[in-house]
Amino acid sequence: MSIKMRSNESLVLSTAWREHFEANRNPTEDLPWDDPYRLTPSERRAVERSVQQFQLGEGAQGRRLLARGQAYARATGDIVFPEALTLFIREEQRHSGQLLRFMLLQGIPAVGKHWVDSVFRWVRVLAGLELELRVLVTAEVIAVPYYRALGRATRSALLRSLSDRILEDEAWHLQFQASMLSRLEAQRSRFLRRLIWQAHRWFLAGTCCVVWIEHRSVFTAAGRSFRGLLRDALSEFAGLERAAGLHGAEARQIGLTKRFLPSGAASPERRASQ
């Protein structure tokens, strides 16, 4: 495969992702914002600090990520990628805004800093585009069991709907990341790819321990255990690895990428191939 073909394929994929994020920019606001339910004191204790931290993390500006995305665009000729990345970052910021709105309704103040968030940002400062995406995707993978638990940690219908809505977006985000990682590692040998994915898996397992320490009140309120968190995160990660490894025509052929998609939705990459 020539460089030019790879560049064209990358451009087609990024264009499809830009279209997806644009179409999802102003989703129908069907969340029950007027739900009068107020968290009980024990529910509030279970979710308050945790939601504050996720609201902070989802609201990142992503300036450095974007600068790295622009460097990637210059190197590969995929000039649409930074636009797709910008829209992706805005979608994360929408999650932050929605969590903030929920917090304000419940009288929960926002926080400006948290050590886990600071450590994540610091690690990403040291990294190149791929490592930064891998750190980011670790948070995306863990977001799946987290929002599943958050939606079930209280009797708030609003928090349940909001968590389900964010989960739908996160399913697409994992697919977007799989597409990006597969492009970045396309030139590597199978052995090296396996080695990197294995190291990433250990990083994920370590991060699950930190997440459990910081957010266990949410998981236990939802009846989830650490083993359940780890099992769910590793299962999402295995799907991500398969999707990244089998991206392109082969993945489309066997429909594997559908695993990450909300039911009935067509993958942007499927649309791009049509």
Q: Which stretch binds Fe ion (CB under 5 A): 57-65, 97-105, 177-185, 212-220?
A: 57-65
| Distance in angstroms (rounded) separating the CA atoms of residues 159 and 104 | 13
Can residue 95 be called a binding residue for Fe ion (CB under 5 A)?
Answer: yes
Q: Which stretch binds Fe ion (CB under 5 A): 50-58, 108-116, 217-225, 239-247?
A: 50-58
Can residue 43 be called a binding residue for Fe ion (CB under 5 A)?
Answer: no
Name which of 108 and 133 has its Cβ closer to Fe ion. Answer: 133
Q: Which stretch binds Fe ion (CB under 5 A): 13-21, 33-41, 71-79, 137-145?
A: 137-145
| Distance in angstroms (rounded) separating the CA atoms of residues 200 and 240 | 12
| Distance in angstroms (rounded) separating the CA atoms of residues 13 and 59 | 26
| Distance in angstroms (rounded) separating the CA atoms of residues 218 and 149 | 7
By beta-carbon distance, which residue lies closest to Fe ion?
173
Least distance to Fe ion from the beta carbon of 170, Å?
5
Least distance to Fe ion from the beta carbon of 127, Å?
18
Can residue 173 be called a binding residue for Fe ion (CB under 5 A)?
Answer: yes
Name which of 48 and 92 has its Cβ closer to Fe ion. Answer: 92
245 in Cβ contact with 215 (< 8 Å): no
Name which of 95 and 134 has its Cβ closer to Fe ion. Answer: 95
**According to CB under 5 A, which one of 9, 43, 48, 92 is a site residue for Fe ion?**
92
**According to CB under 5 A, which one of 43, 78, 140, 241 is a site residue for Fe ion?**
140
Name which of 58 and 241 has its Cβ closer to Fe ion. Answer: 58
Least distance to Fe ion from the beta carbon of 143, Å?
6
Q: Which stretch binds Fe ion (CB under 5 A): 15-23, 91-99, 188-196, 264-272?
A: 91-99
Site size toward Fe ion (CB under 5 A) is 6
Contacts to Fe ion by CB under 5 A? 58, 92, 95, 140, 170, 173
